[in-house]
Each structure stands twice: as structure tokens, then as C-alpha cells.
Amino acid sequence: MRIKTIQTTCPYCGVGCGISAKVDDANRHIKINGDSSHPANFGRLCSKGSELGETIELKGRLLEPKIYGRETSWTEALDLVADSLKSVIAKHGVNAVAFYGSGQLLTEDYYVANKLMKGFIGSGNMDTNSRLCMSSSVAGHKRAFGGDVVPNCYEDFEHADLILLIGSNAAWCHPVSFQRIRAAKEANPNLKVVVIDPRKTASCDIADLHLPLASGADAILFNGLFQFLHAHNKLDLNFIENHTEGFEAVLDGLKLENYSIENIANRCNLESEDVQQFFNWFAQNEKTLSLYSQGINQSTSGTDKVNAILNCHLATARIGKIGCGVFSLTGQPNAMGGREVGGLAHQFAAHTDFSNPDEIDLVSRFWNAPNIAQKGGFPAIELFDAIHDGKVKAVWIMGTNPVVSLPNADKVKEALKRCEFVVVSDCIAQTDTTALAHVLLPAQGWSEKDGTVTNSERCISRQRALLPAAGSAKPDWWILTQVARRLGFGQAFHYQSPVEIFREHAALSGFENKGKRAFNISALAEISAKDYDNFQPTQWGITKDSPNGTARFFADGKFFTKSGKAQLIPITPRLPVNLPDENYPLILNTGRIRDQWHTMTRTAIAAKLNQHKPEPFVEIHSEDAKRFELETNQLAKIESRWGLMLARVQITNAQTPGNIFVPMHWTAQQSSAGRMGALVNPVFDPISKQPESKHTPVKISPFKTAWQGFVLSRRELVISEPEYWVKNKGEYFYRYELAGNQSPENLADWARQMLCANECIAPQWQEYSDVAQGNYRAARFADGRLESVLFMTTTGELPSRNWLMSLFTQTEITKTEQLALLTGELSKGVEDVGTIVCACFNVGEKTIQQAIEKHSLKTHQEVGQCLKAGTNCGSCVPEIKALL
Ligand code: SF4
């Protein structure tokens, strides 16, 4: 057996951690370690990255091309895709076709997709799911800097004296960066952290101050900060004079509203003392780093919020210097790479865009593409509206799941059902989106792909193939190239390997650039195949003058605007478009959870990652729970004007009254009604076109059912669908949570049908029924081993799943355990560990609580010494601290 060590990059969040993988390709096995030499993580990984080795199984993979569900050859599938695109274009014009890409694509894939659609098909209709996470940042950067540049680097965490986390639960969404900030704070007790977020999230664990501001009020707070800094002579008038424009206009705008501390506090629903404290700290600390994420971007005024923050940094000259600046944390592993190549419909390529005819001409000449698109295409929401309305008749979706993730997701589903021709290229066979495809094209998965990605700090890293491609899966760039050749564009799509694409991308970035465009990696335009293979993580720009990369931009006060000066933008704060009313009285907030990624197509394969939050849930403040008659662990129905969702109630005063939170991950593959996208308001920012995913008016009510139950089974089952079901994979079993409006007529038949297709025989089958108490239980054994178990009740009391789950690790179940199993009582001496908190070491909530009490533990480090919990990736430390 030959084990190779290969360095690659994590495919989940924008931190972009380096991975050192020990690969046994003969057995298709990978052992994952953090890459200690990678500047994004220096060896650390979070729970998701650590489990990557568990996600590479072939089960569930799309292995062969399919046409209308029939397996076929690549030749037939590619011919059909090309012929169908040609036919739609011939009948309806180039704008009747569209591509919808993803931050999961590698830069080389993205480049080819963008070049094909915008350069050669000649339509602007190439957009990407990065529209949902980063486009407000892009727009804000372009307005202020003249280019889409994140000015800083991760190293600034260690140099800052004040770090703001604005609309960012980095503890769960960018865990390795969060741990780095925690370590910086431990090393520098003077470093203060302020969390600005309506929710009290796990990130507040290291906060010196939490500002739970009213949803959508960020621009009021930062306008107020600007006013405060001006009133207290804390602005850098010299920098403003020499390096910015628009200062007077900002001041004039601020005069139109009352920005006294009291008024700001009142409008933001904050305490005046807290606002004062925040402003004082900002004024006092030159080295201020503002990190922000989707809480800022996903808003109908997202671009304005970005610029309100940038204004404060520009006017204090705190930009791109060591320890200070504004840092947008990108959501996806290659959201930044997509921005480089022009993956958004209003962009072109290499930081050019459609608003500048000279740039269209420049790209046209570079690509030798006379039919190049002359205007931008449909951004995501409008694209799926156009598909729904029949304006776009053929769409190719690459590596993303819009039927789950887009706002008003039921309409997106309907749009794809109506669409004449839907192509989906993906590595997963069954998703809510692949279910609607006419043609399915098997793309390589993370462990098979070869190319580059760019993380939040502009660092380009290699993603390297660890394993041979599964089945007939191909790289996305190859699939696109084959279609391009069939469309007659062979000369421009001659690529045989990713390095050829990368060279062209690098050459375009430098083409007639002369310092006009921020993205410039022209020093790599002639990179050899060997150097590309060995390429080490480097931050762009990478030019002849800075061949080793650029850690920070703008410290010299030079920007990419026409005048070379940064633009201060007057901001008039706007409320979200749809406000709560008597019919929809609550504000719905959505976001990620610690151990899942996007639509769970990969993370749900890793059993450990399903333990932390096994069901879709809704977090609600105790006052609201009382008002809407909801109890902990009850099922709730959440409804908006656009759709509905079912979720388990979690009452927590981490929520602000009037606000609820649901996770973004569950799909129709794992739940009957757990898709949050069905609820979300499809309005968007007029500039960035980014949707308002953090603010949808909703109502909530108890979802009362006649019965509730659960099943644990070694085999995956076909559940005769009750109104509520959630499927979840464990290490040795599948778990199904169930609830229905009508009790099955014959419980025994129902249970036998579900658990063993009516083939259950004594003594392998046991059941217990207590009609008076409304309880029914059944279990199936094989050779003394537990095969499956079902619990069902009409009174609502169900036993702990944890002990029952632990029985699946045993090769034999004792008589006592069999008895205990059906009575639902724990065997004597058996411990219920509670919900798993530490996924790395499988440590449950109850175990931690008991250890804290028994050993009088005071710190998370002491808990770590006692139980190991929290000592690996550290993602669960905030929860351990909450238990302490
Ligand atoms: Fe992957 Fe976690 Fe690193 Fe994000 S923080 S890149 S999910 S290991």
C-alpha cells in the first residue's frame, strides 16, 4: 500500500484552509490534517474540514451522464447540450440561454464558463450563487475603491487593537479565523472585540461588547460613528484631503438626520452607554479591523451598509495598513475566484465590467471574440424570474442547488419545472435541483479536482486531485470546453489542462492593465506546469513588481478610481423593504450552523457532523415563545408570504424579541419541509442585486400533530411520508424523526412495513403497545444485533435517542437491554450523554454538565483536560463556555 501526502485546500468556507491529505488511492481512503505551512490556518481545521475524509464515498455520487434519467455516453450528452443551446439561440436569441455557477467551482472552471457565455455565445447571462453572499461587498468596494479589493490579510488579526465582527457569526461560519482571533486576544489582552449582530451568537464568546442592534440598522450606527468621529476631531483630514473625494457630501447628508448618541441608540434599539462605548473605542484605537459578512451583505441596502463602514475607515485613514482595515469574510471557498474571472452577470473578466465600453473592447480583443456580450445579464433572482416567465428557455446550473438556496425557492422550483431545457453539472446524483434536470453531467468532486481557489484574504491556493475521478466524472472546465467546441468555438477553447487556463487568466489580468485594475497576477502568465503543480499560497496582486504577492492594498492612499482617490459615499439609511405587520409579526433571520455546509450534499454524509443539530430548528426569544404558545422541542410552522417551513422550537434569549432564526441547510432530500429558502423574501439591493436573506416578515404557530416518533435503522428506509420527517445519517444507522396528523390505522402493520417490509419474524421482532398511554414501540434484531427500532407516541413523550443510538455500536444486545429498549428506560449504569457538543471527540452536553459539577470545572481548558472536548478544532468552545 502506497500512501501519498498531498497538499490541497478545504472546499467549504472562505477562510480557505490548507489541508495535508494522506491518500491511499488503492482503497479510496484519505486521512485529513491541517497544513501547518498554509498561511490561512497554520494546521488548524474546523469540524467540517476535519471530516472531509468521510465525505468521499461513492454512494450518492453522480457517476455517469444522464438524459431524462437514462444513463448515456458523454458524447451523446454533450451533443444534446450543444444542439439544444444552438436551437434555443437560433429561435429566441442569445439571451434566452443562461449559466448559473457557484463559488464551489475552481477558478479555471469559472473562467471557461464566463468566457463561453459572455465572450462567445455573446450573452451576459452568467451569474453565480456568489450573488447571494458577496455581491454587496463587490459593489461597495467598486464604489469606494474603484476596484473589488479586500485590502487586508489574516495576519492583521494579530496586530489589531480593536476587532469588529459586524453581521458575522465567525465562530460558526469562519471557525478557523475566529479561533485565530481568540488566540490573538489571549496573546494581547488589550485587543477588544465588538460583535454587532441582532443575535447573541457563539462569536459573542470573545466579545468585550455585544451590540444587538435592530435588524437592518447597521448604516444608522456607522453613519452615527462617522458623525461622532467628526465631532470629536478624530478624522484624518490630511488623508481625506489628499486621498478621498466626497467628504463634504457625506457631512451634508449627516446633517439631514439626528445622529446624537441617544437617537442612534433609539433607532438601533441599543443602550446609549453601549453605543458611546463602541464609539469611544473606535475613536481611541488606530488599529481597528472591521470584519463583516452576510449580516451586512444580504440586505436590500447591503451596498450602502458596506460603504457606511468603509466611510469610517477611509476618513480615519485606517485602510490596508498593518492591523487596520475593512475585511469582508467571503462565504464560499472560491467566491473570490469567481469575482476575479467575472462570474457575476454585471462583471466581465479580470475586474472589467460592462459599464465601461473600453473594457468590453479590451476583453474582446484579448479573447479575439467579435460576438462578445455588450451588456450585463440577469442577476440570480431576475434570472430565475426570467426562466419562470419563459424569457430564458435553457439554463445550465453548475455545482449549486438553487431550489434550496435561492429566496422564494418554491418559485425557483416552479421555474425549472417550466423551463424547456435544464442542464445540471454536479458531483451529487440526487439534489432538489438535479431532480429537475433534463440532462445531468457528472462533475468531479472536491477530492478529484485540480485547479486554484482564492480565499477571503485574496490568497490563491492550489486545490489538487487526491483521487482518480469517480465513474465517468470530468472536470467542469473540460465539460464546458467540449460544449464550446461543439458550438463552433474550438479555437478559443483548446485547453487540455487547468494550467493552460490559468496562464490565460493571468495574462488577461495584466493585459493593458497599467495599474488600472486591481486584479493583476500577470507575473504568473507564463507559469510552467511544474511551477503550477508546486504553486504555494500567494495573495494577489502578483506582478513583476510584487512577484511574491501583496499582503495589503491602499496603505499608499492610491485607489483604482479615475482620480486615484477613494470615494466617500453619502449614505441615507433605509429600512428593509418589507417590515413586520399584524399578519407577519416576526422578522426571520437565516444563516449557517457550525457543522453543516450549504445544502448538506456533502457534510450530511459525515455522520459526526449530523450530531450537533440533527433537525431543522427555529430559535425564538422566550417572550415570543409565550406569545405564540410555543414550547421547547415542539414543532412549529413558520409562514411567510412566499412559503412555509416546519422546524423544532429552541427557546433562547440569544434572540432579540421579534426576531427568529432558522438554519439555511435542510433540503427536500433530508426533510419534509425544512427548506428555509421557501420562506425568504425575494427582494434585493438595487445596486448589488443581492437578496435580503436576513429579513423576511413571518408568522409562527405550533404545528400540532396526532403523534410523534422516531426510527433508528441500520438500513436506509423508505418512509411512508408523514407530514413531518427528517432524515439524518449516523455512523451505524439512519435516524428519522417523524410526526403525523393521523395515527396509522394498524400500528404493527405500519411498523413492520417500514422497518422490514413485512418480513419481521419472532424472535427477531419485538413490539410493545400501550393503547391507554398512546405508546407504541417496535424493534428488529438480527443475530442478536439491533437492526432497527421505532418509537411512536400520541402523548408527546419520547425517550432519549442517545442511548438507543449507542446500542447500534454493539454486536449483541443483552436481554436486559432488549427489555429496557422497549420500556424506553435506560439500562442501569448506562449514561445518557445528551446532544453531542464536541463533534471531534463525541462528547455530549450531559457529559460536560456532569463533569463540570463533579470536578468543579471553571474554564473550557479544564473541561478539555477532563474530557478532551474543545481541544481539537475548538469550534465547540463557545458552547462549552455557555455550559460553564
Ligand atoms: Fe474549511 Fe473550516 Fe477552514 Fe472553513 S474554517 S476552510 S470550513 S476547515
The predicted-structure confidence for 721-756, as pLDDT tens digits, reads as follows 789 999 999 999 999 999 999 888 888 888 888 888
Buried b or exposed e, range 654-680, using 16+ CB within 10 angstroms: bbbebbbbbbbbbbbbbbbbbbbbbbb
Cell digits of residue 603: 457534510
Which ligand 1 atom is at minimum distance from the Cα of 40?
3
Mean of per-residue pLDDT scores for the chain: 94
* Tally of CB atoms within 10 A around 685: 25
Average of pLDDT values for 7-26?
Answer: 95
Identify the pLDDT of residue 1: 64
Q: Is 421 in the pocket of ligand 1 (CB under 6 A)?
A: no
Is the omega angle on the peptide bond into residue 376 within 30 degrees of 0, that is, cis? no
**CA distance readout (Å), 564 to 146, 147, 325, 516:** 8, 11, 18, 9
Q: Is 268 in the pocket of ligand 1 (CB under 6 A)?
A: no
Q: Is the pLDDT of residue 763 over 80?
A: no
Separation of 15 CA from ligand 1 center, angstroms? Answer: 6
Q: Which of 38, 176, 291 to mutate to test the pocket of ligand 1 (most atoms within 8 A of CB)?
A: 176
Kindly report which listed range (463-472, 644-653, 654-663, 797-806) carries the lowest average pLDDT score: 797-806
Residue 72 amino acid letter: T
Identify the pLDDT of residue 332: 84
Separation of 56 CA from ligand 1 center, angstroms? Answer: 17
Q: How many residues does the chain have?
A: 884
Q: Is 13 in the pocket of ligand 1 (CB under 6 A)?
A: yes
Q: What is the DSSP string of 364-386?
A: HHHHT-TT---S----HHHHHHH
Q: Which of 718, 719, 720, 737 lies closest to 728 in space, CA to CA?
A: 737
Q: How far apart are CA 671 and CA 520, in angstroms?
A: 45
**pLDDT category, 762, cuts 50, 70, 90?**
low
Q: How far apart are CA 715 and CA 705, in angstroms?
A: 27
Q: Which of 454, 349, 453, 332 lies closest to 112 in space, CA to CA?
A: 349
Q: Which of 42, 45, 454 to mutate to test the pocket of ligand 1 (most atoms within 8 A of CB)?
A: 45
Q: Is 48 in the pocket of ligand 1 (CB under 6 A)?
A: yes
Q: Is the pLDDT of residue 374 over 70?
A: yes
Q: Is the pLDDT of residue 827 over 60?
A: no
Could you report the per-residue pLDDT of 135-147, keeping only the tens digit for each? 999 999 999 999 9
Q: How far apart are CA 780 and CA 764, in angstroms?
A: 6
Could you report the per-residue pLDDT of 196-219, keeping only the tens digit for each? 999 999 999 999 999 999 999 999
Residue 98 amino acid letter: A
Could you report the per-residue pLDDT of 579-635, keeping only the tens digit for each? 999 999 999 999 999 999 999 989 999 999 998 999 999 999 999 999 999 999 999
**CA distance readout (Å), 158 to 153, 162, 553, 873:** 10, 10, 18, 19
Q: How far apart are CA 538 and CA 527, in angstroms?
A: 14
**CA distance readout (Å), 855 to 81, 553, 861:** 65, 51, 13
Which ligand 1 atom is at minimum distance from the Cα of 455?
6
Q: Which of 112-121, 348-357, 595-604 has the highest mean pLDDT?
A: 112-121
Q: How far apart are CA 230 and CA 312, in angstroms?
A: 10
What share of the chain in percent tops pLDDT 70? Answer: 98
Q: Is 40 in the pocket of ligand 1 (CB under 6 A)?
A: no
- Say which DSSP state 353 is in: B
**pLDDT category, 839, cuts 50, 70, 90?**
confident
* Tally of CB atoms within 10 A around 717: 17
Residue 765 or 91, more confident:
91
Which ligand 1 atom is at minimum distance from the Cα of 49?
8
Q: Measuring from atom 2 of ligand 1, which residue has the nearest CA?
A: 46
Separation of 363 CA from ligand 1 center, angstroms? Answer: 34
Phi-psi region of 233 (alpha: psi -120 to 50; beta: other; left: phi over 0): left
Identify the pLDDT of residue 826: 61
Separation of 172 CA from ligand 1 center, angstroms? Answer: 10
Average of pLDDT values for 44-70?
Answer: 95
**pLDDT category, 824, cuts 50, 70, 90?**
low
Average of pLDDT values for 321-344?
Answer: 92
Q: Is 16 in the pocket of ligand 1 (CB under 6 A)?
A: yes
Q: How far apart are CA 366 and CA 101, in angstroms?
A: 23
Q: Is 170 in the pocket of ligand 1 (CB under 6 A)?
A: no
β-pairing verdict for 162-166 and 192-196: parallel
| pTM score | 0.94
* Tally of CB atoms within 10 A around 366: 17
Q: Is 451 in the pocket of ligand 1 (CB under 6 A)?
A: no
Separation of 180 CA from ligand 1 center, angstroms? Answer: 12
Q: Is 46 in the pocket of ligand 1 (CB under 6 A)?
A: yes
**pLDDT category, 770, cuts 50, 70, 90?**
confident
Q: Is 638 in the pocket of ligand 1 (CB under 6 A)?
A: no
Q: Measuring from atom 3 of ligand 1, which residue has the nearest CA?
A: 17
Q: Is the pLDDT of residue 303 over 90?
A: yes
Kindly report which listed range (255-269, 383-397, 401-415, 807-821) carries the lowest average pLDDT score: 807-821
- Judge contact between 640 and 698, C-beta under 8 A: yes
Identify the pLDDT of residue 118: 97
Q: Is 49 in the pocket of ligand 1 (CB under 6 A)?
A: yes
Q: How far apart are CA 175 and CA 29, in angstroms?
A: 26
Separation of 512 CA from ligand 1 center, angstroms? Answer: 36
Which ligand 1 atom is at minimum distance from the Cα of 10?
1
Identify the pLDDT of residue 331: 83
- Judge contact between 692 and 300, C-beta under 8 A: yes
Q: Is 175 in the pocket of ligand 1 (CB under 6 A)?
A: yes
Identify the pLDDT of residue 244: 98
* Tally of CB atoms within 10 A around 629: 11
Sequence-distant (≥ 6) Cβ neighbours of residue 370 within 8 angstroms: 364
What share of the chain in percent tops pLDDT 90? Answer: 82
Q: Is 154 in the pocket of ligand 1 (CB under 6 A)?
A: no
**pLDDT category, 400, cuts 50, 70, 90?**
very high
